[in-house]
Amino acid sequence: MKHPLTVTCPTCKAPIEWGPQSPHRPFCSERCKLIDLGAWAAEEHAIPGENLDDELFSGDLPPRDH
Question: Which residues participate in the annotated binding site for Zn(2+)?
Answer: 9, 12, 28, 32
Measured at the CA of 40, the angle between CA 16 and CA 26, to 5 degrees, comes to 15
Which residues define the annotated binding site?
9, 12, 28, 32
Beta bridge partners of 15: 8
State the Cα–Cα distance between residues 25 and 18, nearest whole angstrom. Answer: 7
